[in-house]
């Protein structure tokens, strides 16, 4: 899995508009740790909640800031930094399964009623596992730039296996580096952004490269193909049609495998959630709206 470098991202962000980043706060999750949470209220107290799960190597807001304003016009928007990322929960090891349990724990802590879980790239993998591990807790899922597994070619298998072995040996060092990075990130521009580029730079630096490697190793063990067809809640797939990391064909195949899943195409690459938000955001909003409508119909039917 290749990731764009920070200089590349900053160079390509020249056309990203300045935004007001919503304020966040620390959230203590009993028995799990604490994370940085942004909880933006919807237009009404009973507006459906959408939990946004970010990409690998990013923070919640760095992945999702282009969509928050428009999404919060219709929904309560909940974003948090996942384990080992930004100011997310610290633990002895990184696990996609633990990340999914974190989502359920936060949904319970915030008393969210059948929230929709929407994930981008790594976040979409965690969203899949949210259903797998907590099939009755969520009202729908939206998968953007997604896949069912990563080790599909010889080079991919070699990369993930090597990463997994290396990170197993360096786990203690990884954790210490991630902790120190996260601690530094809690001060200065990260908490008080003055412009989008400066803020994005700080957000990017708040996740240790060691933590990214640990997450990539865990992602390499993901394989949802055997159970995707069992997903029984409203699902939408946002296909990033110019994606060079996760092929559009594989994304469409996932949508075809999940019963009743809707497809929403965004003409952008793997970093399109930010770098080509004009193409991504409308498709994503359509996917959330469609899933929310199906969720509402199910809830109405269940009350008859």
Calculate Rg over the CA atoms of the chain. 18
Q: Which CATH superfamily is domain 6-13+22-224+232-298 in?
A: Alpha/Beta hydrolase fold, catalytic domain (3.40.50.1820)
Task: Give the number of C-alpha atoms closer than 13 A to the C-alpha of residue 293, restricted to the C-beta side.
Answer: 8
Using CA of residue 202, residue 204, residue 207, residue 210, what is the dihedral sign? negative
Long-range interactions of 127-130: CB distance < 8 A, separation 24+? 127/53, 127/103, 128/224, 128/228, 128/231, 129/96, 129/97, 129/99, 129/100, 129/222, 129/224, 130/100, 130/103, 130/104
Mean of the pLDDT values across residues 205-221?
87
Tell me, what's the pLDDT at 92? 85
pLDDT band with cut points at 50, 70 and 90 for residue 157: very low
Residue 290 has pLDDT above 70, yes or no: yes
pLDDT 10s digits, 165-193: 333 433 444 444 444 444 444 333 333 44
Give pTM, 2 decimals.
Answer: 0.83
Q: Which residues pair with 76 in a beta bridge?
A: 49
pLDDT band with cut points at 50, 70 and 90 for residue 198: confident
pLDDT 10s digits, 91-126: 888 899 999 999 999 999 999 999 999 999 999 999
pLDDT band with cut points at 50, 70 and 90 for residue 151: low
Residue 130 has pLDDT above 70, yes or no: yes
Q: Which residues pair with 52 in a beta bridge?
A: 79, 118
Residue 55 has pLDDT above 60, yes or no: yes
Report the range of poorest mean pLDDT among 145-154, 203-212, 225-234. Answer: 145-154
């Amino acid at each position: 899995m290749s990731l764009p470098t920070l200089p590349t991202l900053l160079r390509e962000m020249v056309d990203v508009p300045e935004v007001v980043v919503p304020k966040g706060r620390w959230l203590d999750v009993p028995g799990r740790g604490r994370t940085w949470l942004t909880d933006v209220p919807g237009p009404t107290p009973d507006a459906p909640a959408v939990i946004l799960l970010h990409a690998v190597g990013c923070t919640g807001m760095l992945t999702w800031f282009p969509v928050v304003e428009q999404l919060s016009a219709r929904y309560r928007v909940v974003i948090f930094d996942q384990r080992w990322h930004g100011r997310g929960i610290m633990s002895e090891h990184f696990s996609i399964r633990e990340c999914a349990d974190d989502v359920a724990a936060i949904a319970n802590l915030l008393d969210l009623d059948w929230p929709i879980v929407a994930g981008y790239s790594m976040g979409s993998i965690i969203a899949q596992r949210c259903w797998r591990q907590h099939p009755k807790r969520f009202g729908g899922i939206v998968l953007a730039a997604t896949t069912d597994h990563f080790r599909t070619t010889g080079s991919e298998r070699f990369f993930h296996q090597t990463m997994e072995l290396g990170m197993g040996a360096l786990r203690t060092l990884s954790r210490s580096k991630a902790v120190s990075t996260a601690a530094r990130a809690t001060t200065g521009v990260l908490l008080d952004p003055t412009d989008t580029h400066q803020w994005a730079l700080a957000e990017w630096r708040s996740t240790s490269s060691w933590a990214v490697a640990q997450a990539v190793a865990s992602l390499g063990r993901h394989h949802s193909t055997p159970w995707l067809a069992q997903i029984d809640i409203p699902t939408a797939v946002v296909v990033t049609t110019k994606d060079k990391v996760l092929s559009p064909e594989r994304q469409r195949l996932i949508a075809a495998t999940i019963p009743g899943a809707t497809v929403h195409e965004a003409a952008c690459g793997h970093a399109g959630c930010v770098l080509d938000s004009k193409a991504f955001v409308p498709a994503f909003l359509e996917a959330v709206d469609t899933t929310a409508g199906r969720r509402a119909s199910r809830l109405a039917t269940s009350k008859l």
